[in-house]
A and B are shown apart, each in its own frame.
Chain A
Amino acid sequence: MIDYILHLTCLVFITSGMLAGQQLLFFDGGLLCLGTAAFYAIGAYSSAVLSKYFECPVLLSIFFTTLLIIFIIISIGIPLLKYLKDDFFALATLGLSQTTYVTLRAIAPGRSSGMAGIPEIHTSLTKYISPTIDSLFICIIFTCICFTIIYKIRKLRVGILIKACRNDENALVALGHRPLILKLEVFSIAGCFAGIAGSIHAHYLGAVEPHMASISQTILFLCGTILSGKKYILGTFIGAAFLIVIPEVLQRIFIAKWGVMWQIFPIVQICYGILIVCVTIIIFSKFNTKVHK
C-alpha cells in the first residue's frame, strides 16, 4: 500500500512540474497550447530510444531530449506564434498533437503497443534506500527545479513583460519590446518542462505508449492546468492530484461498490468537464474585461 501511495506521489510530482510550465504559458502568457501532450510524448519516446537503443546514460538522454524539444519549438513556434493567435494557435497545436500521435503509432518502436524495457532512472542513493523512494527523490528534485524557474521568471522583469504581452501586444511593441520573443520564451519553457516530465515518466515507469500524445491526454493536461489556478505555483499540486488521484479513487469506489468498470471513464471525464467549465468561469470572472477585450 505504501509503495502504491509513493508511486502515485511520484506521478503527482512529475505532473505538477509539467503543469507549472503550462500555468505560466496559459495564465501569464495568455497562450492556450493543446500540444502539451505532443511534447510530453516526444520527450518520453526520444529519451527512451536514446537510452535503450543507443545505450546513452539516462541523464544525458534527458539532456539531448531537452535540446530536441527546444529545436522543435523554435522551428514550429516562430511561424505559429508569428501568424496565429488565440483559438487558431490552440487548434494548430492540437494539430501538432494529433500528428505526433499518428506518427508515433506508425513509425516509433513498438508501433501502437508502445515500448517497454526502458532503463530506469536512479541516483547513487539507490544502494541505501528503496527504488521507489529513490525515484520519488528524483521527481521532487525535478519539480523543485521547475517551481524555482517559474517563481524566478515571475519575479523578474521578463515575467511582468510576459503578462503585459498577454494584456496588450500593441502597447508592448510601442514600448520597443518584441512580443514574439517573449511568447517564444514562454512556449519553450512550457514545452521543455513537458518534454523533461515525459522523459522522467518514461524512465520511471520503464514503458511508453503513443497514447501519451492523444487528444484525451491533451484534454487531461488542459484540465490540470485550469485546476492549478492562475495565482499560486503550488496550485499545480491540486491540478496534478486531480489528474492522478481522482481516477484511482473513483476506480476503487466503483469496484468496491458495484464491481463494474466501464462507467468509470465517462464519469471521471464528466467530472473533469464540469470542473473545467466551473473553474474557468470562476477564474476568468475576475479578469478585467476592458483590458482583455
Chain B
Amino acid sequence: MVIEGLINSIFFGLISGSIYAFVVIGYSLIYSVLGFINFAHGDLLAVGVYLCWVIGEGYIGIPFFIAIIIAALLTGILSSMIGFFILIPTNKRYPIATLVVAIGVSIIIQNLISLTCTSEARPFYSNIKFENFSYIPVNYLHISILITSTLTLLTLWFGLLKKTKLGLKIRACASNPVASFIFGLQRNRIFGFVFFISGILAALSGIAKGLDDQIINPTIGFSLGIRAFIASVIGGITNIWGAIAGAFILGIIEHMSIFFMLTIPILKPLSLILSKDAIALILLIIILFWKPKGIFALTYESRP
C-alpha cells in the first residue's frame, strides 16, 4: 500500500514537474541571457490559457489545437513586447528596478484578466474526458503532457539551441554577454527571440495546467509561476538542464511530502498547515541557504 502510494506520488510528481519544466525554461533562458528574473513570466501563463479559452471554447469557437497555436503565438508576441519596451530598458539602469517593474507588470496582467474575464474560476474544456489507465492512476492527458514536455524540451535544446545559428548566438549571449556584444551580435534580436520562446512555453504550460485541472482562474499563473521559479532556483537558474531537473525534483518532493503527511500519524497535523506553495517556499529557503546558485548551477566559465 505504502509502496503503491509512493509510486503514485512519483508519477504525479513527474507530471507536475513536466508542467513546471515549460515555465522553468523561460525563467532560465531570460536569466541566462539578460541576467534578471522575469517575475511577470508566470502571469503570461494565465494570458496563454485565457487566450486559448477565448479563441476556442469561450467566444470564437476555433478548434482546440488551432486555438492552442494561436494563443501560444500571441502570448509569445506579448512577452516580447513586455520584454522589449519595459523590462530591457529598465534592466540597463538598475537590476533591482527590473524586478519591481516586473512585479508591477504582473499585477497589471493578473487584474486585467480579472476585470475582463471575471475573477471567478471557470471550466476549461471540461467536456474533454480522458480515460484512465488500468494499472497506473494517470490518464492519457497526463501521459501526453509528459511526452509533449519531453519532446519540446529535447527539440528546443538539440534542435534550436544546439543546431541553429540563432541558438548558437543565444548560447554565446548566455555564456559571455560582453564578448558577444564586442563580436557584433545583434543582441536586441536575440533578446526578442528569447522572450518570444519563453512566452510560447509559458502559454503551453498554462494550457497543460488548465487541461489537467479542467478549471482556470486569473491567479493560475502567479502560483504556478512562483513554484516554477523555485524549481529553477533549486536546479540552478543559469543551467537549463539543471533548472529542468529542479522542476522534476520539486514536483516529486511536493507530492511525496503530501503523501507522507497524510500517511504518517505524527506528520498529519502538518497537512493542515502546509500547502504545495508552502512546501515549495520552505524548500526554496533551504536551498538558498545550502546552495544559493542551485544544485546544478554552472560557473561563469562553464556555461554552455
Contact = CB atoms under 8 A, between A and B. Distances in A.
Nearest to A276: B104
Contact of A90 (B86, B99, B233, B278): B99
Contacts of A232: none
A262 interface: yes
Interface in B219-236: 222, 226, 229, 233
A94 to B, nearest CB: 8
A92 B285 contact: yes
A272 B106 CA distance: 11
B73 interface: no
Interface residues of B, number: 44
Contacts of B108: 270, 273-274, 277
A190 B159 CA distance: 49
Interface string A95-133: 110110011011100000000000000000000000000
Contacts of A182: none
Contact of B272 (A106, A272, A280, A283): A106
Contacts of A274: 104, 108
Interface string B246-286: 00000000000000000000000000111101100110110
A87 B103 contact: no
Interface in B84-105: 86, 89-90, 92-97, 99-101, 103-105
Contact of B104 (A92, A262, A265, A280): A280
A266 B119 CA distance: 9
Contact of B37 (A79, A83, A87, A289): A87
Interface in A64-107: 79-80, 83-84, 86-88, 90-92, 94-96, 98-99, 102-103, 105-107
Nearest to B120: A262
Given A222-B100, A226-B100, A284-B93, A102 B284 contact: no
Contacts of A88: 233, 288, 292
A32 B110 CA distance: 22
B278 A277 contact: no
Given A102-B275, A103-B273, A270-B108, A276 B101 contact: yes
Task: Give the interface centre of A80, A84, A86 by most chain B CB atoms within 10 Å.
Answer: A86
Contacts of A80: 288
B284 A32 contact: no
Contacts of B103: 219, 222, 276
B94 A287 contact: yes
Contacts of A26: 96
B112 interface: yes
Contacts of B152: none
A292 B94 contact: yes
B100 A276 contact: yes
Contacts of B37: 87, 91
Given A86-B96, A273-B105, A102 B278 contact: yes
Contacts of A103: 273
Contacts of A90: 96, 99
B95 A270 contact: no
Say whether chain A's binding surface is mostly helix, strand, loop, or mixed.
helix
A30 interface: yes
A284 B97 contact: yes
A284 B94 contact: yes
Nearest to B100: A280
A267 interface: yes
Contacts of B292: 83-84, 88
Contacts of A30: 96
B111 interface: yes
Contact of B105 (A84, A277, A289): A277
A257 B202 CA distance: 39
Nearest to B290: A83
Contacts of B101: 276-277, 280-281
A95 B285 contact: yes
Contacts of A262: 118-119
B60 interface: no
B90 A280 contact: yes
A91 B231 CA distance: 13
Given A84-B292, A87-B96, A267-B115, 4 more contacts: A88-B233, A94-B226, A273-B104, A276-B103
Interface of B: 36-37, 86, 89-90, 92-97, 99-101, 103-108, 110-112, 114-115, 118-119, 222, 226, 229, 233, 272-275, 277-278, 281-282, 284-285, 288-289, 292
Interface of A: 26, 30, 32, 79-80, 83-84, 86-88, 90-92, 94-96, 98-99, 102-103, 105-107, 215, 219, 222, 226, 262-263, 265-267, 269-270, 272-277, 280-281, 283-285, 287, 289, 292
6 contacts: A84-B292, A90-B99, A91-B37, A270-B111, A272-B104, A273-B106
